[in-house]
Amino acid sequence: MKKVLIAALWLGAGVAQAAQIAMQDQSQLKVPGSQATPVFVPPAESELPDNAFGQMVRQGHALFVDTRRLMPEAVGNGMNCSNCHLDQGRMAHSAPLWGAYPMYPAYRKKNDKVNTYAERIQGCFQFSMNGKPPAADSPQMTALSVYAYWLATGTRTGVETPGRGYPEVPQPKDGYDFKRGEQVYNEQCAICHGGKGEGQKVAGEYVMPPLWGRDAYNWGAGMHRINTAASFIKHNMPLGKPGSLSDQQAWDVAAWINRHERPQDPRLVEGSIEKTRVKFHANDGVNLYGQKVEGVLIGQGTGG
């Protein structure tokens, strides 16, 4: 009994201390010239050692930015990792790798277990890349992990580095509207992503990634949630103008994108959209999977 109490006190003190240290660290991370937001600066490529480790980092970087071409067996759509983790996985508020790496292993509700960093990446292969995840001990997975580990040099394990993830954009009180979303899309997004969300290709390779259709992220990807897409979009799009959309516009255009068909959720339960909705989508943020929009069932997939 007494032991438990002491342990609780000790843990409590530990947490308080950790919070204090994190605060100090944040103030140190402030970039001179920028005001409020402290942002971690990952190492520069010029700092890479010219040895086996440095080579592995370079390989991981190549796989991260050129995933589809270098790993065709693992990628089932038109995407590269860096399409959603901008600036080669370096950009704050774009789920940067330096924010991710130090936070694993961690429990994930999505698969109800403690995930290693490799398992977390496998999730993005299965859903965001609509593909077949490479084995955790494969050379590619090692390279991808080493790249993230290197970018995270100097961060603290188990402590959130400011700039991690895609910061939540609260749902506007009047929800979202497809018509307004369509308008935002046509005015500010279609020029790059195409009028039908199909992206743009040059010589057979995507130069602008698709947002829906058979080459886009599938119905199991985090981005299929309107709230997650709104967060990504608000902080990263239109490309080169992050933060320029209002919260309302970000939600409206995210809803417009995510009412369009994309590859089926690979976890499809007994061929039933309704069973899949109940099992995987009913409690997964704000999403349209398995619902009817203007009389059309969403989540039918793109076939093939």
Residues that bind ligand HEC (CB under 6 A): 67, 79, 81-86, 95, 99-100, 103, 120-121, 124-125, 128-129, 144, 164-165, 184, 188-189, 191-193, 208-211, 216-217, 221-223, 228-229, 232-233, 237-239, 245, 253
Question: Residue 237 CB, nearest distance to ligand HEC (Å)?
Answer: 4
| Beta bridge pairs of residue 292 | 297
Mapped onto helix, strand or coil, the DSSP state of residue 211 is: coil
What residue type is 79 in one-letter code? M
Give the integer Cα–Cα distance in Å for 142 and 117: 10
What residue type is 88 in one-letter code? Q
- 6 sits in which H/E element: helix 2-29
- 125 sits in which H/E element: helix 117-126
Question: Residue 86 CB, nearest distance to ligand HEC (Å)?
Answer: 5
| Nearer residue to ligand HEC within complex by CB, 73 or 270 | 73
Question: Residue 9 CB, nearest distance to ligand HEC (Å)?
Answer: 31
Contact between 129 and 69 (Cβ < 8 Å): no
- Give 40-68 as a DSSP string: --PPPGGG--SSHHHHHHHHHHHHHHSHH
| Nearer residue to ligand HEC within complex by CB, 83 or 155 | 83
| Beta bridge pairs of residue 202 | 205
Question: Residue 5 CB, nearest distance to ligand HEC (Å)?
Answer: 34
Question: Residue 231 CB, nearest distance to ligand HEC (Å)?
Answer: 8
Contact between 117 and 108 (Cβ < 8 Å): no
Question: Residue 71 CB, nearest distance to ligand HEC (Å)?
Answer: 8
How many other CB atoms are found less than 10 A from the CB of residue 18? 13
| Nearer residue to ligand HEC within complex by CB, 217 or 289 | 217
- Summary count for the chain: helices (H), strands (E): 12, 6
| Nearer residue to ligand HEC within complex by CB, 6 or 239 | 239
Question: Residue 12 CB, nearest distance to ligand HEC (Å)?
Answer: 26
Give the integer Cα–Cα distance in Å for 135 and 34: 42
DSSP annotation of 163: T
